[in-house]
Every structure is written in structure tokens, then in C-alpha cells.
Amino acid sequence: MSQTFDTIVLGGGIGGYSAAIRASQLGRTVAIVEQDKLGGTCLHRGCIPSKALLRSAELFAVMKESERFGIETDSVRVDYKKVSTRKQAIVEQLYQGVQYLMKKNKITVFHGKGRIIGPSIFSPRSGTVSVEQEDGEILSLVPDKLIIATGSRPRSLPGLETDGITVLNSDEALRMEQLPESAIIIGGGVIGVEWASLLNDFGVQVTIVEFAQRLLPAEDEEVSRELERLLKKRGVTIRTGAAVQTDSVVRESGSIRLTVKRREELEELTAQVALVCVGRQANIEDIGLHATDVKVEAGFIKVNTNMQTAESHIYAVGDCIGGLQLAHAAAHEGIAAAEHGSGQTPHHTEAHQVPRCVYSRPEIASIGFTEGQAKDQGRKVKTAKLSFQGLGKAQVLGETDGFVKVVADEESGDILGVHMIGAHVTDYISEAALAQLLQATPWEVGQTIHPHPTLSELLGEAMLAVDGKSINF
């Protein structure tokens, strides 16, 4: 059986469902094909469940220190089953919301695995999606425009294959029913750092092993150093510039032993579990790309600025095209693809205009180029870095760790990057994103009135400090 739609979206994660909704708003008939649950990684295995756990961990950490705030408690303990139940309830509620959005926007949802087929009796062009439904029936969906949004999955490390008990990836870690006593986290990128912060706050003994010379190698070096300092202060063991010797791994009942090599020195590490957080790979192997002229580069689908693949009626968005692999980037790309496929001119966003957030404690939020990247581009930069220590709201909250750093072009005055580490910084990085979008100068952002007392005042002051005009610092 075959059915025809104006737009067909393969994959119902945030990139896919955002594309579907936009295409429908633009008057297209739309179908979405999802093999698992609408909402994808972000809702079921990523942003939402991890942030729900992080919130419980943060509360526990604050409650343990409640005496600082004049609050006495007899005892505080974690019931991880309840923590996990709360996380799942949030996921379920939002899942209902996504399903409702499909209905509201009259999007036809097909449940099953989709594969792209080449030219056939259904269409002279490649791009028809063959859907294998749960009851075994095969449907052929013929699109005018196809948007591939099949997302990504955890990358595995040869020699450290996950078993869901002793060696876990981030999907499996989210399903843990109880907390381990100790964990080795392999990979000090965003996901590894968030898990390290979360587990440490829950009282788990944590060691991070990172191959690069610093945690979060994509962030400004000063942010990485500050994060490392703060995590170490909380008792997290950090081994950077360290490679796991995958042939050294010994799984015993209830523990794992492995050796890491660091500057020619070998160190044996033992923990109850190992979490492998070494990046994510695109879900593109088994979706029929061989039947198309779509190009793949370094494991990701290649697209132009309109999200078109080498076949102009086939688009790709989200984690399957690589780049920043963030939910808001996927959504933005999905909307752009839907708009272009509907004959509109979408707003084009450069990678450096996408905010990046890490929900560790303290949080990290940044946009644009790091100081190192700006200098590597041959620019002369001026910077300002102000600490939360001197800010009223930070003192009130008892959250004085971290700083705001602004990197600006010395000649043009343009804001090149904003790098923040501190409590709740993810909540107002969008101010810096707006400044970049509007091509505001640091002075203009500094002139914007920031209410007092708020944490965002420090961003305003740092913008002024770039030209030595800060009032309070």
C-alpha cells in the first residue's frame, strides 16, 4: 500500500517533530515515521531525564549544606527509586504533550522502522520511505520532500562494550535502579561531566578519565580549568590526558578494574561501574542511504545551509548531521528544513550562534568563539572576566563559584564569545545569543538595564568591563 504526503519526516525526535509541526503550519500534508517513541533522545534518554536527576542531586547537595542557610535538618537521605520515579513521571507528562502536538497539527504518525528506497513504481525519484509496521505490514510513503532526522546513539569503546550492569552507556545509566558506590566515567565531555556532577552530589565516588588535556575541550580553557578545580574541591578524581588501556579491563562480579596510561605512567582504577561517555554516532547505517545520492562525511549526513543533502528534495537535520548535537540546534535545523522545503527562506544560523550548555553544578553556558579560537583566527581580542564572588545575588544564593568571561574583537568591537560558569548561567545565555543575533556591541549589552539583584547583572558588567566601563567591578 502507498500513501503520498507533501513532507515526510523520518525520525520523531526533537529535530523531526519540530520539522513536522513547522511544515504542517505552512499548509503541507505531513507524516512522521518513528520506530520507538516520539520525543527521541532528548525526551526519553537525554536532556529531560538527565536534568530531572540533576535537579534531585542538586537539591540533595544543597540540603546537606542547609546549615549554611540557617536551616537545621536531622538527616537527609536519598531514595533513588523515588528520584527515578519522579524523572519518569516528567518524561511521561512531556511525552503526552508531544503526542498531543502531533494531533493538534494534523500530523500522521506511522509507528515502525523506516527505510528510504530508490526510484520505484511509487516514484521516479529516491526518497520513498518504506515502513515496516509493528504488525509486519509494509507501507510505502511517497514524499514531495523528505526530512531525515534519525538522530544518534551512544558511541561504544572497543574493549569496553556495555553490559548494562558493570559497563554502562548514558542510556543504560538513566535506567539504573540504584546508585553505585563508585563510578569511573570515561569521557570528560558534556555528558560525562554532567554524570560526574550528578553522581558526586548523590555521594558516589567518581573518577573521570579524559583523553584530551582538559575537561570539556570544546569550551574556553579558563572554563575547563575552573570546572576541574571545582569538581576536585568536591572530591571528584580527574585524570586528563589519560587513555584507557582497553585490553586491561577486568569485569568482576560487582566491580570493574582498568588501567589508564598518562604521560607514560600506568594507573589502575577500580569502581563498581564504568560509564562510557565517549560521544555519539549518527543513526544512518540502516536507513537506505545507499539507495540515494545522499553523501555521508565522517559518519554524518552532509547538508548545505538549507539542510539539503546532495539530493535537493531530501533534507537532514539534528544529530544525524553531526555538528553541535544539541536539542535546540536540532529543532532549529528541523524548522529551517521544513521552511525551505515549503518554498520559504529560512533564517540561517552559524554554529557559533548556537548556545552550548552543561548542566553540571555549577552550570556552564557559552556562545561563540573561545579566546583560543578567536586568536587562532588571527584576531586581536580584548577580554573581561568577572567573578560571581563580587555579585550581590550570588552571595544571597550562596552560589559564588565561577565567572563570566566576554571575548570581543579589539578592532571592530564585536562580541566574539561569552563563556560563563556558575549557578543558573544556562538561564540567561540566551541574552548573549540575542546580542550576537542583533550584532550588538558589548557596550550596548552593558547599557541594557539588568534588574538588581540578579545573576545576569554580571553579564552586563562583564560587557562593560571589556572597555573598562564596569561600575561595580
Ligand X SMILES: Cc1cc2nc3c(=O)[nH]c(=O)nc-3n(C[C@H](O)[C@H](O)[C@H](O)COP(=O)(O)OP(=O)(O)OC[C@H]3O[C@@H](n4cnc5c(N)ncnc54)[C@H](O)[C@@H]3O)c2cc1C
Positions in 243-302 near ligand X (CB under 6 A):
283, 287
| 23 touching ligand X, by CB under 6 A | no
The one-letter amino acid code at 2 reads S
* Contact residues for 350 (Cβ-Cβ < 8 A; gap 6+): none
Handedness of CA 119, 121, 127, 129 (dihedral sign): negative
Q: How far is the CB of 8 from ligand X (least distance, A)?
A: 11
Q: What is the DSSP track for 213-253?
A: SSSSTTS-HHHHHHHHHHHHHTT-EEE-SEEEEEEEEEEET
| 445 touching ligand X, by CB under 6 A | no
> For residue 355, which phi and psi values (nearest 5 degrees)?
-65, 150
Can you tell me the distance from the alpha carbon of 289 to that of 294, in angstroms, rounded to the nearest whole number?
6
Q: Which is nearer to ligand X, 16 or 362 (CB)?
A: 16
| 460 touching ligand X, by CB under 6 A | no
CB 238 within 8 A of CB 231: yes
Among 183, 326, 408, 423, binds ligand X (CB under 6 A): 326
CB 267 within 8 A of CB 239: yes
Can you tell me the distance from the alpha carbon of 130 to that of 112, in angstroms, rounded to the nearest whole number?
10
Q: Which is nearer to ligand X, 260 or 330 (CB)?
A: 330
Among 127, 143, 151, 189, binds ligand X (CB under 6 A): 151
Q: Which is nearer to ligand X, 86 or 113 (CB)?
A: 113
Burial grade of 425 (CB within 10 A; 0-12, 13-18, 19 or more): buried
The one-letter amino acid code at 338 reads A
**How, if at all, do strands 403-409 and 415-422 pair?**
antiparallel
Q: Which is nearer to ligand X, 302 or 382 (CB)?
A: 302
Positions in 67-126 near ligand X (CB under 6 A):
113-114
Annotation says 111 is catalytic = no
Handedness of CA 297, 300, 301, 307 (dihedral sign): negative
Q: How far is the CB of 382 from ligand X (least distance, A)?
A: 30
Among 28, 46, 61, 418, binds ligand X (CB under 6 A): 46
Among 179, 327, 364, 394, binds ligand X (CB under 6 A): 327
| 21 touching ligand X, by CB under 6 A | no
Encoded one letter per residue, x for contact with ligand X by CB under 6 A and - for no contact, window 334-373 reads -----------------------x-x--------------
Can you tell me the distance from the alpha carbon of 339 to that of 407, in angstroms, rounded to the nearest whole number?
33
| 188 touching ligand X, by CB under 6 A | no
DSSP category for residue 148? E
Q: How far is the CB of 442 from ligand X (least distance, A)?
A: 26
Catalytic residue among 290, 347, 348, 452: 452
- State the catalytic residues: 452
Contact residues toward ligand X (CB under 6 A) are: 10-16, 33-36, 40-42, 45-47, 50-51, 113-114, 149-152, 170, 191, 283, 287, 318-319, 325-328, 330, 357, 359
